[in-house]
Chain A
Amino acid sequence: MIQKETDVVIIGGGPAGLAAAVEANSAGCKVMIVERDDGLGGILQQCIHPGFGLHEFKEELAGPEYAQRYIDMLGKTKIEVMKGTMVLDMTPKKEIFAINENGVVKIAAKAIVLAMGCRERTRGAIKIPGFRPTGVYTAGTAQRFVNIEGFMPGTRYVILGSGDIGMIMARRLTWEGAKVEAVVEIMPYPSGLIRNKVQCLDDFGIPLYLSHTVVRVHGKDRVTGITIAKVDENWKMVPGTEIFFSCDTLLLSVGLIPENEVSKKAGVKLGKTNGPEVNQFLQTNVDGIFASGNVLQVHDLVDNVAIEAKKAGKMAALAVKGMKIPSVNAGDAVPLVAGNGIGYVLPTKINTIVDDALVKETGTVKISLRVKKPANDINLKVKNGSTEIYKKFYKHMRPSEMIIFELDPVVLNGIDKKLPLEVYIEPKEQKEVAKK
């Protein structure tokens, strides 16, 4: 068994892991990335479409180009990268057990950043009945077949779910010469970004069926067709609304699930996002274990992943340097709860007693959330009991876009620590809107 020791171990060498590593390194720590694949970049390597890095690099990059920017930064550092190495176990004492072609590797870390990303929700998770033929793939698997392996997984497609990967694959497959018969979405609005609906569906004349879902997969050996139907508000099928499409492939873009099997082994507690519960320092309930990127919450843009991961990398480095990072479990941690209209909100808790030195390092408290459904002309508010401590107007809010806002730590000083902080939205009064 190979034994190693380091300051900060980053589990996962995708966009979150790369950004966290670069940041922890520049804070002066010995850093190691453990990556299961043979190369760095994670899922970005198969995302050959443009649209990455607009905020961060002020350029429109393809996924592999974006990843390469970080890989180049990494090349100039002493960060140790263990590729082809899969973490199988992790303890609360921050010992990591992994395997690679040389054997078992045991790594003792002073701090850990979880950056394992997420996986796709499958057919089984959403209970689609019918046969089990070949030709039913998650959009990401199909993306790998086409963009990495160079094979066509089908010729005529129905895509369930209007998530970003699904819509991007609709365009990619059309571009490759295949026919996408329909994109089907159970919600009454597209679940991916509007720009993807315009650029990937509308430009190619691909119909989007909202409030519809797949009710049957046909074909015992290979998909021969898909029946979709309209659903009511409770997602129950409306009889008599079935539409049949003859096709050979069904792609699923029905959501992503943070991949936390390893986190759970160290006793990391998971919350509403299926990611770890964290405080504003991205520290989990296990001191010294931090989380960022899609393992924490599914992000809309890689740029937001990088911002969050840099913070986690920095916090891990500060912890190694001996700065006390408050615990999620501490008495001063006030829960942040999702109120009216909010799907989820992070961090799970906000520590209210924080050293000035740490405040100086971290600045404002960043809060991220998603709304449950699209809304226009609304106020986003935070209240503590009946006291409103934050308010911001938004012209549009959509579930496909992560909302990130900042709280000044000063406002936290005066709050009632026995009561949670509730984040919610409410319609702005018409008069007020008119004035704007």
Chain B
Amino acid sequence: MLYDFAIIGAGVTGAAISRELSKYKVNVVVIEKLSDIATETTKANSGIVHAGYDAPAGSWKAKMNVKSNPLFDQVCNDLYIPFKRIGSFVVALAGQGTGYIEELYQNGVERGIPVEIIKDLAAIKKLEPNISNETEAVLHAPTAGVISPFLLAIAMAESANINGVEFHFNSPVQNIENMGKFFIVDTPSRSFQAKAIVNAAGLYADEVSKMAGDETFKITPRKGEYLLLDKMGDFVRKVLFPVPTKKSKGILVSPTIDGNIFLGPNARDQDSKLDTSTTLSGLDEVIEGGRKLIPNVPLGDSITNFAGLRAVSDTNDFIIGESTKVPRLFQAAGIQSPGLSSCLGIADELVDIIKASPNLSGTEIKLKENFHASREKPVIFHDLSWSERDALIKQDKTFGHIICRCETVTEGEIVQAIKRPIGARTVDGVKFRTRVGMGRCQGGFCTPRVIKLLARELNVDEEEIVKREPSTRYFFGETKDFRKENAPIMNGRPIQQ
């Protein structure tokens, strides 16, 4: 089969482009190295839709962010993705001056973004009661929002899949051959032929581009570490940015879409594209930064820490468009912050570029008549009223069985997450779709139960179930077999059994 487009990478950028292309009468395949949608940079970032005043004027970052921000309401509405425009503050503390936020204010005005500067501490405290008393002024941008980056990516991929896009996981691209009229993309399990390639390979976009014959840019991983706190009502209400200092670009404090609070990220360039480990010094940096904005942030309610890697290009900007070296290689590379905020704009822009490309004149790119903009609404038990819950359980009793007690996730929701198009196949897959295990006990209670449900629904042994990749298994056999082969020692002697 000759595909019209092979999209490499199923992060939020690849997912957005796949959905945009699925509106057209073209054959599209998405090839993903890892086991699921949104498993790398997309799963570990701030989950913020920026207003768009921040990036330098004229940059792709600025253009795409400004274009993308207003598009979120429609997509989130169509695909049932929780999204809240909670607004953001850039916080100028005493001694930092207001020059920086005034600059951003100007950017906002020029770009048509609603912004205001608030200087009255009482007025600021009314909107953000726990903000530092040292606050001198804030830039308020009401159109900034919070979203779950993985739910967004998963929903867009599902939508693309419903509209005919194929997805292949556990398929790292090993080689790309340019055959003139088409490319051959090799992965360990199979090869794909496609007329055009869309490079949305995140951290590996430079390597994919190089395989296709374009070595014009390099991606450097920039680590960002986070501390996630438990849910605590409206203790923090808005996305809070600091004024950057010489030492640090700045640590945010913000609620997540689910009502948790996070602190982070820091920014540390590194060589490794694999090293997503957190460090003591990094977490200390994050805490120190967060406390400047919210001095009494309740660190005792920390539930986890994690790190993500930003894919930073050597131009420090997004790389968007058809390769200047290789015709029909379309780049969506260097997508770091504000990448999540920009993904809808990037998809839109890139598909326009594709449609206009003279190198694709042989491929007719026409809109489908029967594009399904929506998808089946996922049940979120937690959000239902008592009478809705009662009715739902009467219809399907698996919704009367709580699996994750911290996040109130039911068996029914987990089964649904497994059975949907591009359903969950791993414990993390279930987690990112349903919030199972994301709460304060961090999977201590539900992990054994989720493993059981996955095994039951996928009709495999529990031992086969993994957290993420095939190398993330949980078990080393059954206890009775293990004991036979490994006689235990007590007081220096093997125990007879």
A203, B402: Cβ atoms closer than 8 Å: no
B278 CB contacts on chain A under 8 angstroms: 129-130
Q: Does A138 contact B (CB under 8 A)?
A: yes
CA distance A178 to B302 in the complex (A): 32
Distance in Å: Cβ of B303 to nearest Cβ of chain A: 4
Q: Does A361 contact B (CB under 8 A)?
A: no
Nearest A residue to B471 by beta-carbon distance?
A: A221
0/1 per residue, A133-174, Cβ < 8 Å to B? 110011011001110111111110000000000000000001
Distance in Å: Cβ of A127 to nearest Cβ of chain B: 6
0/1 per residue, B436-474, Cβ < 8 Å to A? 000011111101100010000000001100111101111
A221, B393: Cβ atoms closer than 8 Å: no
B277, A104: Cβ atoms closer than 8 Å: no
Q: Does A222 contact B (CB under 8 A)?
A: yes
B487, A151: Cβ atoms closer than 8 Å: no
Set A1, A119, A137, A221: member contacting B390, Cβ < 8 A: A1
Set B402, B441, B487: member contacting A120, Cβ < 8 A: B441
Q: Does B491 contact A (CB under 8 A)?
A: yes
Q: Does A50 contact B (CB under 8 A)?
A: no
Distance in Å: Cβ of B61 to nearest Cβ of chain A: 29
A134, B473: Cβ atoms closer than 8 Å: yes
**Which bucket holds chain A's interface residue count?**
35 or more
B276, A131: Cβ atoms closer than 8 Å: yes
Q: Does B477 contact A (CB under 8 A)?
A: yes
A145 CB contacts on chain B under 8 angstroms: 448, 474-475
Distance in Å: Cβ of A408 to nearest Cβ of chain B: 38
A140 CB contacts on chain B under 8 angstroms: 444
A99, B489: Cβ atoms closer than 8 Å: no
Distance in Å: Cβ of A119 to nearest Cβ of chain B: 5
Residue from A152, A174, A204, A220 with most neighbouring chain B CB atoms (10 Å): A152
Residue from B306, B476, B495 with most neighbouring chain A CB atoms (10 Å): B476
Set B227, B393, B489: member contacting A204, Cβ < 8 A: B489
CA distance A84 to B393 in the complex (A): 13
A-contacting residues, B216-265, CB 8 Å: 227-228
Q: Does B394 contact A (CB under 8 A)?
A: yes
CA distance A151 to B483 in the complex (A): 11
B303 CB contacts on chain A under 8 angstroms: 122, 124-125
A203 CB contacts on chain B under 8 angstroms: 490-491
Number of interface residues of B (CB under 8 A): 66
A122, B442: Cβ atoms closer than 8 Å: yes
A103 CB contacts on chain B under 8 angstroms: 389-390, 393-394, 400
A177, B482: Cβ atoms closer than 8 Å: yes
Set B443, B472, B477, B491: member contacting A151, Cβ < 8 A: B477
CA distance A261 to B52 in the complex (A): 38
Q: Does B315 contact A (CB under 8 A)?
A: no
Q: Does A52 contact B (CB under 8 A)?
A: no
0/1 per residue, B301-335, Cβ < 8 Å to A? 01111100000000000000000000000000000
B488, A175: Cβ atoms closer than 8 Å: yes
B488, A174: Cβ atoms closer than 8 Å: yes
B440 CB contacts on chain A under 8 angstroms: 119, 122
Q: Does A102 contact B (CB under 8 A)?
A: yes
CA distance A122 to B441 in the complex (A): 6
* Given contacts A174-B489, A177-B486, A221-B468, A124 and B228 within 8 Å (CB-CB): yes
B400, A155: Cβ atoms closer than 8 Å: no
A122, B444: Cβ atoms closer than 8 Å: yes
* Given contacts A1-B387, A177-B488, A204-B489, A124 and B304 within 8 Å (CB-CB): yes
* Given contacts A84-B401, A141-B448, A123 and B393 within 8 Å (CB-CB): no
A-contacting residues, B386-410, CB 8 Å: 386-387, 389-390, 393-394, 397, 400-402, 405-406, 408
Set A125, A215, A217, A221: member contacting B472, Cβ < 8 A: A221
CA distance A122 to B280 in the complex (A): 17
A152, B478: Cβ atoms closer than 8 Å: yes
Set A127, A132, A150: member contacting B480, Cβ < 8 A: A150
Q: Does A36 contact B (CB under 8 A)?
A: yes
CA distance A138 to B479 in the complex (A): 18
CA distance A403 to B458 in the complex (A): 51
Distance in Å: Cβ of A148 to nearest Cβ of chain B: 8
Set B302, B482, B490: member contacting A124, Cβ < 8 A: B302
A119, B445: Cβ atoms closer than 8 Å: yes
Distance in Å: Cβ of B387 to nearest Cβ of chain A: 7
- Chain B residues near A (Cβ < 8 Å): 227-228, 274-280, 282-283, 302-306, 386-387, 389-390, 393-394, 397, 400-402, 405-406, 408, 440-445, 447-448, 452, 462-463, 466-469, 471-480, 482-492, 495
**13 more A-B residue pairs beyond the given contacts A86-B402, A104-B389, A119-B440, with a C-beta to C-beta distance below 8 A:** A100-B401, A119-B441, A124-B228, A134-B474, A140-B444, A149-B448, A174-B490, A177-B487, A204-B490, A215-B280, A221-B468, A222-B471, A222-B472
Which 7 residue pairs are nearest across A and B when measured between Cβ atoms? A177-B486, A124-B304, A221-B471, A104-B390, A151-B475, A101-B397, A101-B400
- Chain A residues near B (Cβ < 8 Å): 1, 36, 84, 86, 88, 97, 99-104, 106, 119-120, 122-125, 127, 129-134, 137-138, 140-141, 144-146, 148-155, 174-178, 203-205, 215-217, 220-222, 237, 248, 261
Q: List 27 A-B contacts (CB under 8 A).
A: A1-B387, A84-B400, A86-B405, A99-B400, A100-B400, A102-B393, A102-B397, A102-B400, A103-B390, A103-B393, A104-B390, A106-B386, A122-B303, A122-B441, A124-B302, A129-B305, A132-B306, A137-B447, A145-B448, A151-B463, A151-B475, A152-B475, A152-B479, A176-B479, A217-B277, A220-B275, A220-B277
